[in-house]
Amino acid sequence: MKEIKEFLNYEFTYNKNISISVKSLLIAISLILITSILLKLFKKYVVKRLQNQDKNKFDTIFSFGKWLVYIIIFLITLQSSGVEITALFAASAALLIGVGLALQTFFQDIISGIFIIVDQSVHVGDIIELDGKIGRVDEIRLRTTRAVTIDNKVLVIPNHLYLTNSLFNWTQNGTTTRENVEVGVAYGSDVDLVKKLLLQAASEHPKVLKYPEPMVLFTNFGDSALNFRLIFTLNDSFQAAIPKSDIRFTINKLFKENNISIPFPQRDIHIVSGNLIKEETKSE
């Protein structure tokens, strides 16, 4: 019995202000184990009462809060056991500064992840565009968001980018989006026929929704073409590149059948002799 007491009272000493006994360590470990069991019971109790769409959000926040509780309990236990926490922090100040700088981005990601979950700006299944990259959200984690691009590549996005960049959520207002295809025709073309053919190209595609109806805008008188924009609605914007390509093929076919040409830019080049250039330079 005496040996056990001596073992429990044995102290690991760092300096005169910082020392911790085996008993204090065992108490801290025991409290963390008990807390872990209580947190698991609490999690089961809460998860049973949540809807499926909210369970993943709760798991993410719970995993962060769990470690925070462990750290607080450990520090309180050490303080109550006579360990000078302030002295411990002071002794390891340089180390803590280095660790803090290294973990700065890490904690930015975690806080951003909590914001994303709380304000529900992004959900699993949403199509997002961030920093020029487009993907369908597959999983939202505490530090990163996992998205899959149209070519089936995995895009791992650090959550802090949501706070430092503009995020475009293509599907927050629903899965339908308005897409467009632009085309230019030669001057002198029948613009009414052009409009009819563009609407025909959109309406014939099976992926284009009947409502709202496709529409054509005469956008501008260009340098070498009359510019039009065909606007239509798709139910899956993630695959928009494929129907837009199909519609361009159809437009090209219809224009050829109806003798409507798509011009290309032309430039007139005037070659001036070297003597004339010198004379003009002198005159200036």
Residue corresponding to tokens 């499926």: 52
**CATH C-level class of 2-102:** mainly alpha
* Pick from 230, 236, 245: nearest CA to 184: 230
Sequence spans of domains, the chain: 2-102, 121-169, 177-257
pTM of model > 0.85: no
* pLDDT given at position 235: 83
Write down the pLDDT at residue 282: 43
**CA-CA distance, 22 to 7, in Å (whole number)?**
7
Cis before 158 (ω within 30) = no
CATH topology of domain 177-257: Alpha-Beta Plaits (3.30.70)
Question: Whole-angstrom Cα distance, residue 168 to residue 128?
Answer: 6
Is 235 within 8 Å of 178 (Cβ atoms)?
no
Q: From first to last of its 284 residues, what are the pLDDT tens digits of the chain?
A: 666 666 666 666 655 555 666 777 777 788 878 888 888 888 887 777 666 656 666 676 677 777 777 777 777 776 666 666 565 555 555 555 655 655 667 777 777 777 776 667 787 888 888 877 888 888 877 778 888 888 788 888 888 787 777 778 877 666 678 889 999 999 999 999 999 999 999 999 999 998 889 999 999 998 889 999 999 998 877 778 889 999 999 999 999 999 999 887 766 676 766 554 444 444 34
Q: Which amino acid belongs to residue 149?
A: T
Classified by CATH at the fold level, domain 121-169 comes out as SH3 type barrels. (2.30.30)
Same fold, 2-102 and 121-169: no
- Cα distance between residue 176 and residue 249, in whole Å: 23
Q: Identify the residue whose tokens are 């830019």.
A: 265
Other CB atoms closer than 10 Å to residue 117's CB: what's the count?
Answer: 21
